Amino acid sequence: MSSLSTPIREAGAERTGRTRAEPLPHVALRFDPVLLLAVAGLCAGSLITIAYATPDDVPGDPHYYLVRQAIFVGVGLLLAAGLWLVDYSRLRAWRYPLYALLIAGILATQFLGTVTRGSRRAVELPFFEVQFSELGKVLLVVVLAAFLVERSRPPGPWRATLKVMVLTLVPAAMVIAQDLGSGTVYVVVGLGVLFVAAVPWRCFVAIFALFAVAGLCAFVLAPRAGVEVLKPYQQDRLVAFLHPTANPAKQGYQQNQSRIAIGSGQKTGRGDGATQTRLNFLPEHHTDFIFAVVGERWGFVGAAFVLAMYALVIWRGLRILVIAKNLFGALVAGGIVAMLLFEVSVNTGMTIGIAPITGIPLPLFSYGGSSVLSTFLAIGLLQSIHAQGRIAATQKGAALSGRTSL
Does residue 375 form part of some domain? yes
Q: Which domain holds residue 354?
A: 30-59+66-405
For 99-113, the pLDDT digits (tens) are 999 999 999 888 887
For 230-248, the pLDDT digits (tens) are 666 666 666 666 666 666 6
- Helix, strand or coil, per DSSP, at residue 86: coil
CB crowding 27-65: b at 16 or more within 10 Å, else e:
beebbbeebeebbebbbebbbebbbbbbeeeeeeeeeeb
Q: Are strands 129-130 and 119-124 parallel, antiparallel or unpaired?
A: antiparallel
For 193-218, the pLDDT digits (tens) are 999 998 899 999 999 999 888 878 87
Does residue 113 form part of some domain? yes
Long-range pairs, 214-219, Cβ under 8 A, ≥24: none
Does residue 18 form part of some domain? no
So what's the pLDDT on residue 353? 85
Does residue 169 form part of some domain? yes
Does residue 276 form part of some domain? yes
Does residue 11 form part of some domain? no
Cα–Cα separations (whole angstroms), residue 247 to 222, 239, 244, 250, 381: 26, 9, 7, 6, 44
Do 36 and 29 form a contact (C-beta atoms < 8 A)?
no
Give me the number of domains the chain comprises: 1
Rounded to whole angstroms, the Cα distance separating 192 from 60 reads: 45
Cα–Cα separations (whole angstroms), residue 168 to 36, 139, 190, 191, 278: 30, 11, 6, 9, 41
Global model pTM greater than 0.85: yes
* pLDDT exceeds cutoff 60 at 312: yes
Range name among 29-38, 63-72, 238-247, 311-320 with the lowest pLDDT average? 238-247
The amino acid that residue 342 corresponds to is: F
Does residue 114 form part of some domain? yes
Does residue 223 form part of some domain? yes
